[in-house]
A and B are shown apart, each in its own frame.
Chain A
Amino acid sequence: MAEALLSNKNKKILKDGVWDTNPITYQVLGICSALAVTTQLKTALVMSFGLTFVTAMSNVVISLIRNYIPSQIRIIVQLTVVSALVITIDQLLRAYMFDVSKQLSVFVGLIITNCIVMGRLEAFAMGNPPWKSFLDGLGNGLGYSAVLVIIGIIREIFGSGTLLGYHVIPASFYANGYVNNGMMVLAPGAFFLLGVIVWVQRAISGYSES
């Protein structure tokens, strides 16, 4: 019953996470960090990487031990596995990207309670073999990353006129009275942007809440 590693079924698992059941716009999970870390593209990218790694790896680990976890204490087991992975990410960031780790502040730690991780563990890894769980985690992580990167790009360009720290809005604009939109770097801008992105994504994919 060996199945090709990237059979159509497995590709669908990956694709579902990115588009059809995108964790942010469809499952409504993981919104907290999507809004908080996206004032700059750089932090958004680091956070996306961290979350994708944690989701995929915790899915694999939980899927490997899924038959040995007593159901009453499964939340604690899941939290322990996830925290261990998050500590790894946090220590790596502190060692190699200290400034980004400072900017992300508490939000690296908050990957532990990120609903995407817990949601995928509960909904997928508890009932599926490791490779499928890995793909599911990867897909959902990428779907989350896509939304984060879009919000990050828009907020950084309009909020501070830069992209990855480089100025992209020409100085002549400023000379003619162009002003950076301060609201973009503040909390309300993030809410508005995500609202609009959800609107666009759902209008294209045709999903709507009753």
Chain B
Amino acid sequence: MDPIHYLNLAIKSIFVENILLAFFLGNCSYIACSKKIDTAIGLGTAVVFVMVICTPACWAVKNFLLAKGALHWLSANLSSVDLSFLIFISFIAVIAAMTQIVEILVERFAPALYSALGIFLPLIAVNCAILGAALFIDQRNYTFWESVVFGLGGGIGWALAIISMAAIRKKLMYSNIPAPLRGLGITMLLSGLMSLGFMCFAGIRL
């Protein structure tokens, strides 16, 4: 496959179909953790990290275990077995296990990164951006490398959105916002504007 195809997919997943601003995935942690730039950067990095690992892992689970006929490599008798109704439960188990493994590995080999990411790593297991990306891969029938690129792009897109929002909210501290609009309300309105901005990338192809 030519590299341009992958570059296009990356641009699409980072900007045009930004997983947060176009599909609304991972909104809860986006709102909760965008108050400070430091935490936003920490969580953003963690999401990129986990997503790059989880999306190919889920791809493998689906294509070697769950899809119709996927068990063919085990025995010819199993080639008619279709376990795809187990996709939700297996994906969430894979993601939870992967986050756990990543946490252990990071703690062992990169203690500095571990202390920077802090409590965010375990929380990522229930971040719907990760499960969402995995389910998109299932739905769109991506190949292995496409799923790697999509995971990376989706993660970067999410990180980009949360970090820019944290920067905007820092400026917001000096503005006089009506009391009921503070916090969630104004963040939603701003996300709307950001989402509008990201939509300008629609149609970009190399």
Which A positions have Cβ atoms within 8 angstroms of B? 25, 28-33, 35-36, 75-76, 79-80, 83-84, 86-87, 90-91, 105-106, 109-110, 112-115, 118, 183, 186-192, 194-196, 198-200, 202-203, 207-210
Contact = CB atoms under 8 A, between A and B. Distances in A.
Contact of A191 (B130, B135, B182, B192): B192
A76 to B, nearest CB: 6
Interface string B123-147: 0011110111001100100000000
6 contacts: A31-B27, A32-B128, A79-B93, A106-B139, A189-B192, A199-B181
B31 A31 contact: yes
B21 A187 contact: yes
Given A106-B136, A109-B135, A115-B126, A79 B24 contact: no
A29 B23 CA distance: 16
Nearest to B32: A28
Given A79-B125, A106-B136, A109-B91, 7 more contacts: A28-B32, A109-B135, A183-B196, A194-B188, A202-B181, A202-B185, A207-B180
Given A31-B31, A75-B126, A115-B28, A195 B92 contact: no
Query: Which secondary structure characterizes the binding site on chain A?
Result: helix
Query: Which secondary structure characterizes the binding site on chain B?
Result: helix
Nearest to B131: A113
Contacts of A109: 87-88, 91, 131, 135
Nearest to B20: A32
A208 B182 CA distance: 7
Give the interface centre of B25, B31, B130 by most chain A CB atoms within 10 Å. Answer: B25
A37 to B, nearest CB: 9
A198 B188 contact: yes
Given A80-B89, A112-B92, A32 B192 contact: no
A32 B88 contact: no
Contacts of A29: 28
A206 B166 CA distance: 26
A32 B199 contact: no
Given A28-B28, A83-B88, A195-B189, A110 B96 contact: no
B36 to A, nearest CB: 15
A114 B87 CA distance: 17
Contacts of B101: none
Interface in B141-188: 178-188
The 5 residue pairs across chains A and B that have the minimum distance between CB atoms: A191-B192, A209-B183, A195-B188, A202-B180, A106-B135
B192 A188 contact: yes
Contact of A188 (B125, B185, B199): B199
Contact of B191 (A25, A33, A191, A196): A191
Nearest to B122: A75
A198 B183 CA distance: 10
A75 B125 CA distance: 9
A195 B185 CA distance: 4
A192 B28 contact: no
Interface in B70-117: 85-89, 91-93, 96
Interface in B4-26: 21-26
A162 B28 CA distance: 30
A32 B28 contact: yes
Given A32-B27, A79-B96, A188-B196, A112 B188 contact: no
